Amino acid sequence: MYQQLILASASPRRREILEQAGIPFVVQVADFDEESVRKELGMDSFGIEGRNEEDYTAYVKALALGKAQAVFRENADVDGTLVLGADTVVVHRGEILNKPVDLEDARRMLLRLQGDIHAVYTGVALCHGAGQPDNLPAFVNFAVRTEVVFYPMDKAEVEEYLACGEYMDKAGAYAIQGRMAAYIREIHGDYYNVVGLPLSSIVQELKKLQNNV
């Protein structure tokens, strides 16, 4: 059974989800170069066309695994360590919408998402005891996809939402658990996946691992 769960993320939303579930953990932010994954997979931050679900799934899985492995390497000498890495992206009509760089970028994202459907992908990696030839940790690596449908928003509603500041540090420039909830028409899949961590899927994997780590 694992003795310590390390969350390899600075996201307050992910911390809140784990705390809500009563799962003990500590936080250690990964020192990981996400750009290396983009280059390796031939992905750019914006304007990706002709991609499919497998591409986005592979992308978030690689990001999550890279973060988890980076933190595990720093704690590999601690028995019973289990590291949880995660990464979330929003995809709309072939474009990956990461965290907005500024207010104008957030406005652009919200205007394109309003009245339409988009997908949220979260990659998850659980790294535990060494056991591979190259001394990398053994791991579980998967991704969860959720579809979200927005009601139409006029420009005034978009500006009102931007004014609350909730868009900052959010993939796709919105927080489904915040004021944007007023404009969510439908969700197909795991709600917590959109928040940033597919909790139930992770708990099922932890149950499988708890007697083997």
Q: List, run by run, the mean pLDDT of 10-residue segments along the chain (213 residues).
A: 86 94 94 78 56 85 94 84 94 89 96 96 88 64 97 96 94 95 97 96 89 59
From the list 31, 55, 87, 169, the catalytic residue is: 87
Q: What pTM did the predictor assign?
A: 0.89
Residue 116 bears catalytic tag? no
Instruction: Return the CATH fold of 4-209.
Output: Maf protein (3.90.950)
- CA dist 19 and 11 (Å) reads 13
Q: Record the tokens describing residue 116, joined without a space.
A: 């339409």
CB 87 within 8 A of CB 70: no
Q: Phi and psi of 206, rounded to 5°?
A: -60, -40
H or E segment and range at residue 87: strand 81-92
CA triple 157-145-140, angle to 5 deg: 140
Q: What is the DSSP letter of 151?
A: P
